[in-house]
Structure formats: structure tokens, C-alpha cells
């Protein structure tokens, strides 16, 4: 119950990583607001709304004057190059940059801003990723997934639940002295 009495707003929370984080926050005693956009065509807009959600939440938190935590969801794609997902990689790199900038701006108000950077995570989205990469590269369905999994030093794709512990850590006072950091939860993939 390390988050008893806390309120968490989690976007992208209907499935995958977001859902795992909401489930863990709830088990830790937090009251969670669950938000999700489930339309593929709105994905780029949803990425831009990470930024506007941060601004709105920060404004409210500053007005309350009680500090708090903001946790952004980045990606290994923001730290690695991949010619097939230029826009996604650029967007996730922007999340990492926004995290650092917001951290400096908000720490005088007692608000810690950090990010989690997942690697490849076994969610329903990976079926679509595998299909698209196959289309672009001519590989059979499943081949891209297999090749990517071989690149994970831990030996497997992450599970949504693998991200929940880092989310709890960043939401509690255990990470009270951390600001502007991006925590890689990627089985070592970003190092490879």
C-alpha cells in the first residue's frame, strides 16, 4: 500500500503496459483514472497529447502546492535508430527530452518528473508491428518477432507486468531524489 491516498491518471491504460501499471498502482492503494485512445489512426495525436497532458497535470499540481510525481512513457525507440519507424522514434526521443526539461522546470515545486523506457513488450500491438515489418521487409509473419527476441540479452520479450515495478518505484518516495531520468526496462536491449 505504498501509494495509499495517491491519485494516478494513466493514459493508454486499456491494455498492455498501461493496464499493467494501473493494476499495480491499484494494488498499491492508488485511486486510478484510466484513459485510452483505441484508434490506430489517432496514435500520432495521442503521442502529442502525452505532452499536453503533462502540462495540464503539472499546472494543477503546481496550483495545489503539494508536489508530486509525473512519469512519462518513452521507448527504447527514442534511444536507438530504426529506419522503419522514424516518426515513432522521433516522438519517443521527444518524450525523453520533454521529461528532462519538465523535470528542471517542476522540481522547484516539488514535482519529480521521470520516464520509463520499455524495450520490446509482448502486447497485442506486437502482432501489428510484426505484420508491418514483414510487409516492409518481405519477411514472413513471426520472423521479425523472432529476430527481435534474439536481440534481447534477457532472452525474451518483456511482459507488461515487468514495467509495473518501475512505475511504482518512480511514483513513490523511494525515487524522491531522481529527476529527469529515463529508466530502461528493456531486458538490456538498448545496450546491444
Q: What is the residue whose three cell numbers read 493494476?
A: 23
Catalytic residue among 11, 23, 88, 122: 88
Give tens-digit pLDDT for 159-177: 999 999 999 999 999 999 9
Superfamily classification of domain 7-191: NAD(P)-binding Rossmann-like Domain (3.40.50.720)
Q: How does the average pLDDT of the chain come out, rounded?
A: 86
Pick 85 or 171 by higher pLDDT: 171
Q: What is the residue whose three cell numbers read 490506430?
A: 40
pLDDT tier at 8, thresholds 50, 70, 90: confident
Q: What does the domain layout of the chain look like in residue ranges?
A: 7-191
Residue 101 reports pLDDT greater than 80: yes
Residues in the chain: 192
Residue 91 reports pLDDT greater than 70: yes
Task: Give the pLDDT of residue 41.
Answer: 28
Pick 189 or 34 by higher pLDDT: 189
Burial label, 152 (beta-carbon count in 10 A; 0-12, 13-18, 19+): middle
Give tens-digit pLDDT for 111-157: 999 999 999 999 988 888 898 888 889 999 999 999 999 999 999 99
Respond yes or no: is residue 88 known to be catalytic. yes
Amino acid at each position: 500500500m505504498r501509494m495509499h491516498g495517491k491519485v494516478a491518471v494513466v493514459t493508454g491504460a486499456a491494455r498492455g503496459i498501461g493496464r499493467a501499471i494501473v493494476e499495480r498502482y491499484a494494488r498499491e492503494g492508488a485511486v486510478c483514472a484510466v484513459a485510452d485512445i483505441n484508434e490506430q489512426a489517432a496514435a500520432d495525436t495521442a503521442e502529442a497529447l502525452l505532452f499536453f497532458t503533462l502540462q495540464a497535470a503539472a499546472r494543477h499540481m503546481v496550483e495545489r502546492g503539494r508536489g508530486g510525481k509525473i512519469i512519462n512513457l518513452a521507448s527504447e525507440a527514442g534511444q536507438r535508430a530504426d529506419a522503419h519507424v522514424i516518426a515513432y522514434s522521433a516522438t519517443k526521443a521527444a518524450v525523453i527530452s520533454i521529461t528532462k526539461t519538465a523535470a528542471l522546470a517542476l522540481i522547484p515545486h516539488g514535482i519529480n518528473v521521470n520516464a520509463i523506457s520499455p524495450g520490446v513488450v509482448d502486447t497485442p500491438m506486437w502482432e501489428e508491428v510484426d505484420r508491418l515489418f514483414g510487409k516492409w521487409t518481405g519477411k514472413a509473419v513471426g520472423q521479425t518477432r523472432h529476430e527481435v527476441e534474439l536481440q534481447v540479452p534477457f532472452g525474451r520479450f518483456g511482459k507488461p507486468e515487468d514495467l509495473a515495478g518501475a512505475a511504482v518505484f518512480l511514483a513513490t518516495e523511494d525515487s524522491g531524489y531522481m529527476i529527469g531520468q529515463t529508466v530502461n526496462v528493456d531486458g538490456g536491449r538498448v545496450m546491444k
